[in-house]
Homo-oligomer: A and B are copies of this chain.
Amino acid sequence: MYRSHNCGELTAAHINQTVTLAGWVQKSRDKGFVHWVDLRDRYGITQLVFDESRSDNAVFELAKTLGREFVIQATGKVIERESKNANMATGDIELLVTELNILNPALLPPFTIEDDTDGGEELRMKYRYLDIRRSPVRNALLFRHTVAMAVRNFLSAQGFCEIETPYLIKSTPEGARDFVVPSRMNEGQFYALPQSPQTFKQLLMVGGMDKYFQIVKCFRDEDLRADRQPEFTQIDCEMAFVEQEDILNVFEGLTRHLLKELKGIEVDKFPRMTYDHAMKTYGNDKPDIRFGMEFGELNSVAQHKDFGVFNSAELVVGIAAPGCGEMTRKEIDALIEWVKRPQIGASGMVYVKCNEDGSFKSSVDKFYDQEDLKRWAEATGAKSGDMIFVLSGGAHKTRTQLSALRMELATRLGLRKPEEFAPLWVVDFPLLEQDEDSGRWHAMHHPFTSPKPEDMKLLETDPGAVRANAYDMVLNGNEIGGGSIRIHDKATQQLMFKYLGFTEEEAKNQFGFLMDAFQYGAPPHGGLAFGLDRLVAILGGQETIRDFIAFPKNNSGRDVMIDAPSPISPEQLKELNIKLDLK
- Residues of B within 8 Å of A551, CB to CB, are 165-166, 200, 203
Q: From residue A20, how far is it (CB to closest CB) to chain B in Å? A: 10
Cβ contact within 8 Å between A209 and B132:
yes
A182 at the B interface (CB under 8 A): yes
Q: Given contacts A132-B208, A132-B209, A133-B208, is CB(A572)–CB(B42) below 8 Å?
A: no
Cβ contact within 8 Å between B564 and A170:
yes
- Residues of B within 8 Å of A518, CB to CB, are 104
Q: So how many copies of this chain end up in the complex?
A: 2
Contact segment of A83-91, A216-224, A407-415? A216-224
A188 at the B interface (CB under 8 A): yes
Q: From residue A198, how far is it (CB to closest CB) to chain B in Å? A: 12
Proximity bits, A553-583, B CB within 8 Å = 1, else 0: 1001111011111111101101111111111
- Residues of B within 8 Å of A43, CB to CB, are 210
Contact segment of A336-344, A362-370, A521-529? A521-529
- Residues of B within 8 Å of A171, CB to CB, are 564-566, 568-569, 572
Contact of A520 (CB < 8 Å), options: B130, B168, B173, B576: B130
* Docked complex Cα distance between A518 and B69 (Å): 11
A537 at the B interface (CB under 8 A): no
A163 at the B interface (CB under 8 A): yes
Q: Given contacts A42-B209, A190-B567, is CB(A1)–CB(B520) below 8 Å?
A: no
Cβ contact within 8 Å between B106 and A521:
yes
* Docked complex Cα distance between A153 and B42 (Å): 20
Q: From residue A151, how far is it (CB to closest CB) to chain B in Å? A: 11
* Docked complex Cα distance between A161 and B132 (Å): 13
Cβ contact within 8 Å between A517 and B190:
no
A179's closest neighbor in chain B, by CB? B181
Q: Which of A149-189 contact B (CB under 8 A)?
A: 149, 152-153, 156, 161-171, 173, 175-176, 178-186, 188-189
- Residues of B within 8 Å of A549, CB to CB, are 164
A242 at the B interface (CB under 8 A): yes
Cβ contact within 8 Å between B170 and A71:
no
Proximity bits, A437-453, B CB within 8 Å = 1, else 0: 00000000000000000
Contact of A169 (CB < 8 Å), options: B152, B168, B556, B564: B564
Q: Given contacts A521-B70, A565-B170, A579-B581, is CB(A129)–CB(B221) below 8 Å?
A: no
Contact of A581 (CB < 8 Å), options: B186, B565, B578: B578
Cβ contact within 8 Å between A565 and B186:
yes
Q: From residue A514, how far is it (CB to closest CB) to chain B in Å? A: 9
A270 at the B interface (CB under 8 A): no
Cβ contact within 8 Å between B176 and A104:
no
Contact of A138 (CB < 8 Å), options: B41, B209, B231: B209
Cβ contact within 8 Å between B567 and A189:
yes
A100 at the B interface (CB under 8 A): no
A204 at the B interface (CB under 8 A): yes
A43's closest neighbor in chain B, by CB? B210
* Docked complex Cα distance between A175 and B564 (Å): 14
A571's closest neighbor in chain B, by CB? B173
* Docked complex Cα distance between A43 and B209 (Å): 9
Cβ contact within 8 Å between B581 and A209:
no
Cβ contact within 8 Å between B559 and A41:
no
Contact of A489 (CB < 8 Å), options: B104, B170, B175, B233: B104
Q: Given contacts A165-B550, A169-B559, A519-B107, is CB(A578)–CB(B579) below 8 Å?
A: yes
Cβ contact within 8 Å between B565 and A520:
no
- Residues of B within 8 Å of A169, CB to CB, are 559, 562, 564
Q: Which of A42, A148, A207 has the most CB of B within 10 A?
A: A207
A141's closest neighbor in chain B, by CB? B163
Proximity bits, A131-148, B CB within 8 Å = 1, else 0: 111000010011011001
Cβ contact within 8 Å between B132 and A557:
no
Contact of A210 (CB < 8 Å), options: B42, B557, B562: B42
Cβ contact within 8 Å between B513 and A243:
no
* Docked complex Cα distance between A355 and B40 (Å): 70
A569's closest neighbor in chain B, by CB? B173
- Residues of B within 8 Å of A170, CB to CB, are 559, 562-566
* Docked complex Cα distance between A153 and B569 (Å): 42
A2 at the B interface (CB under 8 A): yes
A63 at the B interface (CB under 8 A): no
A287 at the B interface (CB under 8 A): no
Q: Given contacts A104-B522, A161-B142, is CB(A564)–CB(B168) below 8 Å?
A: yes
Q: From residue A139, how far is it (CB to closest CB) to chain B in Å? A: 11
Contact of A561 (CB < 8 Å), options: B191, B231, B513: B513
* Docked complex Cα distance between A181 and B182 (Å): 7
* 12 A–B contacts from the bound complex (CB under 8 Å): A41-B241, A69-B520, A104-B522, A104-B524, A141-B161, A163-B550, A166-B553, A169-B562, A176-B572, A179-B182, A183-B557, A189-B568
| Nearest 4 interchain pairs by C-beta | A132-B207, A106-B521, A170-B564, A189-B565
